[in-house]
Amino acid sequence: MAYDIAALLKIIGASLDDAALAAKRMAATSLDDVGASTKTAAAKSAGVVIDDAAAMPQYAHGLQAARELPVVAKIALGSLANKAILIPGALLLSLYAPWVIPPLLAIGGLFLCIEGIEGLWEKFAPHAAAEKDQSEVLSPQEAERKKVREAIRTDGVLSAEIIVISLGTMMQAPLPQQALALVAVGLSITVGVYGAVALIVKMDDFGLALLARGISGNIASLRRAGQGLVDLMPKVLVGLSYLGTLAMLAVGGGILSHHIPHVAYLSELAGPLSGLLALLLGTGVGAAAGAVAALLLHAVRR
């Protein structure tokens, strides 16, 4: 009897060891699968991520130096909140109503086109920006809150595009793997984009620190480097504001172009330059759609 119990315990112990080993292998495989899905999704959505990084610095431009990083932090938290809503929403829609996703993305794309065309109008028609400033006099706190709201709203559309593109690369994967990979993509992109934005908006302060160190230590190379950064960064931020505005048109127009078969056909005719032509055509579609929609909106408001 004692021998039977000992043998049974030995069998149970061996079974538990086998189960633990199998679970460990399954966990390792699952993590590998999640990692592979994350890498593929990040590669596929890289274009939108670059546009996101280009569009965001403009929202921290023009603020007091002490408020730049807090504003970037607020926008980053808003971006995480966007993704916390969008990831479960995208998973549920892909399971139960996948036909809803393209129209929702098209609406978001049109919003980006309107934002982009209005941004270009304000940049190339200074009187429009002046009229807007006169009609809307805000305190620094209100102006900051407005910028944060606008940035989070724009980030929401860009995040939705990133999540849908990412989800499209892993449709055959199990639901838990999809969820974990999307969370990993969302976190890594948010940290990467807003970390880069924080570095960009604080580079002028870094230049001032170099300049001060060079002056106090009588180090000519540090003085030149610091002065160069101080002189360069305002131009970089202005350039990024234009690039970010064009990025909105490119992303929004690219989303809308998916619903225009001839655009994809024309892009394919360019062969190795098909990607560049698709970008140019998408930007053109975005500018046209944004201009028409903006005119209609202004007519309705009046």
Among 45-54, 60-69, 197-206, 285-294, the least confident range: 45-54
pLDDT: which is higher, 225 or 269: 225
Backbone angles phi, psi at 194, to 5 degrees: -80, -25
- Look up residue 106 and give its two tokens: 């098209």
Residues 249-286: pLDDT tens digits? 888 888 888 878 777 677 777 677 777 888 888 889 89
pLDDT at 22: 44
Residues 56-77: pLDDT tens digits? 777 776 677 778 888 889 999 9
Residues 74-121: pLDDT tens digits? 999 999 999 999 999 988 988 888 888 888 888 888 888 888 898 888
- Look up residue 274 and give its two tokens: 């098909």
CB contact set of 57 (below 8 Å; sequence gap of 6+): 197, 200, 201, 237, 240, 241, 244
Would you tell me how many other CB atoms lie within 10 Å of the CB of residue 50?
A: 15
Residue 295 has pLDDT above 80, yes or no: yes
Which of 247, 295, 288 has the alpha carbon at shortest distance from 59?
Answer: 247
Fill in the amino acid letter for 229. Answer: L
pLDDT at 182: 87
pLDDT at 292: 92
pLDDT at 23: 43
Q: If you compute the radius of gyration of the chain from its CA atoms, what whole number of angstroms results?
A: 25
Backbone angles phi, psi at 161, to 5 degrees: -65, -45
pLDDT classification of 39: cutoffs 50, 70, 90: low
Fill in the amino acid letter for 275. Answer: G
Which of 108, 75, 66, 65 has the alpha carbon at shortest distance from 90?
Answer: 108
Using CA atoms, how far apart are residues 206 and 217, in angstroms rounded to an integer?
16
Using CA atoms, how far apart are residues 60 and 72, in angstroms rounded to an integer?
7
- Look up residue 118 and give its two tokens: 């209005």
Using CA atoms, how far apart are residues 247 and 50, in angstroms rounded to an integer?
9
Residue 153 has pLDDT above 70, yes or no: yes
Using CA atoms, how far apart are residues 217 and 282, in angstroms rounded to an integer?
52
Maximal C-alpha separation, the chain: 97
- Look up residue 272 and give its two tokens: 């190795």
Using CA atoms, how far apart are residues 86 and 182, in angstroms rounded to an integer?
10
Neighbour-count burial for 214-234, b at 16+ CB within 10 Å, e otherwise? beeeeeeebbebbbebbeebe
Using CA atoms, how far apart are residues 201 and 17, in angstroms rounded to an integer?
54
pLDDT classification of 186: cutoffs 50, 70, 90: confident
Share of the chain above pLDDT 90, in %: 8
